Chain A
Amino acid sequence: MKETRTEQAPPRKNVPLLKRKRFIFVGAIVLIAIAFVAYIGFTKFATYDITVSQFVAQSGSYAGKQVRVVGEVVPGSVNQDSQNFTLSFIMADGNTSLPVVYQGVVPDTFKEGTDIVAEGKSDQQGVFHASQLITKCPSKYEPSS
């Protein structure tokens, strides 16, 4: 095996240009790959955060689309049918409100009067079917008030 110890090898003068070309080539491929994936991501997997009032105002354009609606759980509106794993409540943002139905395990941090994010779609009757409830859990980095 004719291994030359590379540490002693003198720098070759013709390499940089070749290397630079290869570097640019690989870099371009990588950037294009990232851009492609990001494009696919934004067109296919993105859900937009909107408030209840935005959602209700443009319910036509959001019909059948996966969205994330942000709002407050109206106190007294929560109705939990635990037999069927169904939770129904009203989400509000100012004066606009939206009935929401959710099936599944209710997160521990779900409470009346708190802000939540409901991800899902609305049906023709205007009821929002949430597939996921994101509650804001009191974090460890909460400033004490």
Chain B
Amino acid sequence: MTVDALAKGIVAGDRRALARGLSLVESGAAEGAALLDGVRARLGRARRIGVTGPPGAGKSSLVNALVREARAAGAEVAVLAVDPSSPFSGGALLGDRVRMSEHALDRGVFIRSQASRLAMGGLAATSHGMTDLLDAAGFDLVVVETVGVGQSELEIVRQADVTAIVLAPSMGDMVQAMKAGLVEAGDLVVVNKGDLPGAASCRDEIVAAFGMTAESGGAARADDVLLVSAATGDGVKELLARLRAIPDAVVAERRITADARRVDAAVVRALADLRLKPAAASLAATLTPAVRRGDVSLEEAVRTIVAAAVGSDREARRP
């Protein structure tokens, strides 16, 4: 199928075309970029909700419960669920659908799993583009679930319109959460598994942590900490309402920041790719022993390698 036909199909609600298009974008191929260009006019309608938090906090179950509430409210929902790739094999075991089986046959729900392919920050390098395509396909909400994150891997906060940080009781000392800056990063903190003992006191600890300094939000943020149970459904309706209540003006501002961030990330990736240029790679191999012996300083080696990488890139572009 041509990129043009694919774009038409996606906009018309053809799910198979959407699935194929997502693969194109994910592959990083030029057709993927062309496809995104083709649907650019339809971007920006969906509200993008980020769900992040440490492994085992119940992100997938919570997303499942959020989708249920959103469907009950008549919204069509897409989910992009990112799981980690294995650093050993490059493969991945994507298991987020296990918790979302109840939506498998609902035409108003589209779930796509993605492997992180070793990108940092809890998302894959192409997650942003895939979110765009899901937006263009006409869903009211696009929920992006990150890899289980620990400390400071918060790419999602820079990309989504609104983000919930999901925690669960008995996941360790609150000092962990405080030093990571995890709880301050999102719009809402969700203490999931609210049906388990210790959940209420976990919420109280987070509220207390917010209250300690004005920078971390102060006492005013107490309302941003929600006790929820994905298992029983308690509090999920309120959570969804809060996520959807972020004002359009705030969202518009965040999207400007997200675009800037996206350009920045692309530049960083392009710079990282430079080191793989043959000229740079072979120089790096040659210079490493010299650096080890102390004949060449590390800084000098870096300057030489970077100059060679940029030079060879210019060379390659010359007609």
A binds B: no
